[in-house]
Structure 1
């Protein structure tokens, strides 16, 4: 786990086999990773309010850029979710098949 820069309020990692969680740059309020076999979660730049990752076999979640309010992944086998650029309000991936709300 790597946390850099300032104003990181909460980072929680639970479960087993979490390889890497990286939070960088200012104003990341909450990052939660739970379940097993989470390979990589990266939150960079500023104003990422909430990133929860739960369930099994999440390979990579990346939130890059500013004003990403919510990224939620649940249920097993999400290979890659990337959110970049300004003003992304919510990305939710749930179930064995992908369901994405923007």
Structure 2
């Protein structure tokens, strides 16, 4: 990773975690339709907390998944807003 700045590492991480989160939400929706073993809600929420909140929100919209569950309906946007505020704070203070 020679020459990679902290900023570019963070961007790569966020792109990766959001792509993974989006895909995992799609897989869970597929499993729900096929009545197969599911991905836990805790895992889905953890992915959002770890930086995948955009991927989770887009996954909910695209896959029409978890949209009626209050934990997700209100939790994912709350996590996203907290992460945006944190990023803004860090951007202004670093």
What is the TM-score of this pair, normalised by structure 2? 0.18
Higher normalized contact order (CA 8 Å, seq sep 6+, divided by chain length): 2
Q: Which has a greater percent of helix? A: 2
Q: Which structure is larger by alpha-carbon Rg, 1 or 2?
A: 2
Q: Which has the higher strand share?
A: 1
TM-score, with length taken from structure 1: 0.17
